[in-house]
Homo-oligomer: A and B are copies of this chain.
Amino acid sequence: MHKMVDNVGPLYQKIKDHILQRIADGDWPAGSRVPSENELVKLFKVSRMTTNRALRELTDEGVLMRVAGVGTFVAEVKAHSHPLEIHNIADEIHGRGHDYSAKVLILEEVRAGAETASWMEINKGESVFHSRIVHFEQGRPIQLEDRFVNPEVAPGYMAQDFSRTTPYEYLMSMAPLLKAEHVVKAVMPDGATRQHLDMDENEPCLLVERRTWSGDRVVTIARLWHPGSRYELSGKFRP
């Protein structure tokens, strides 16, 4: 499955897209050398400042790694995310030039238990949607997403194909996500979680619990398990 490379936009963006596409296709694995600035100048018939910007931005984004006097290489990427932003795991993975896929384990309508009802600020026994999805990066599981959704906000949730569209994309299209609350923990996974995430015996999980509001209603609560060896949260801030 090849993504279409956009033919419009700035030249440096075309060069970035081309490199991301080659990485995603597996032509340029991690550690391999990418064309030098001068080689890209000849390939794309642009000035060196333009190829420099493309390579520099991909380096700032963590996709490439550069060594002056040596060359530019595809970075050994460790998954990372900015906890400040509500992220679309699919966009995050595509942004690294990697292949994304998903597997739906559960998609059902259930009655809220006491704890779930409390978190979603609804009454116990009310109907809620429940999904459990494994997200894959380059074929390796990177996130187990367990989610409850308020049916009043997203009535069409059960009819979505979440192997093609992420819950985030659908929920964003249904309601503006105005407020979120998150908790980050380090925990040991249970057996099923460890198996779904293809984790080693003594490996911890980075667990993100997130609650999202639109207006004064809880739209969704999510528990996102990540393998500690393959996922980290990162961010830059001004104190």
What is A's interface to B at a CB cutoff of 8 Å? 20, 24, 49, 60-61, 63, 78, 80, 82-87, 177-188, 202-207, 212, 226, 228, 232-239
Contact = CB atoms under 8 A, between A and B. Distances in A.
Contacts of A186: 186-187, 204-207, 226, 228
B185 A235 contact: no
Contacts of A184: 83, 184, 206, 232-234
Contacts of A85: 237, 239
A180 B79 CA distance: 13
> In the complex this chain forms, how many copies of it are found?
2
A48 B238 CA distance: 26
Contacts of A204: 186-188, 204-205, 228
A235 B205 contact: no
Contacts of A177: 239
B61 A236 contact: yes
Given A188-B202, A202-B202, A239-B178, A183 B82 contact: no
A229 B130 CA distance: 27
A82 B237 contact: yes
Contact of A237 (B84, B236, B237): B84
Nearest to A225: B186
A93 to B, nearest CB: 18
A232 B180 contact: no
A205 B203 CA distance: 11
A181 to B, nearest CB: 5
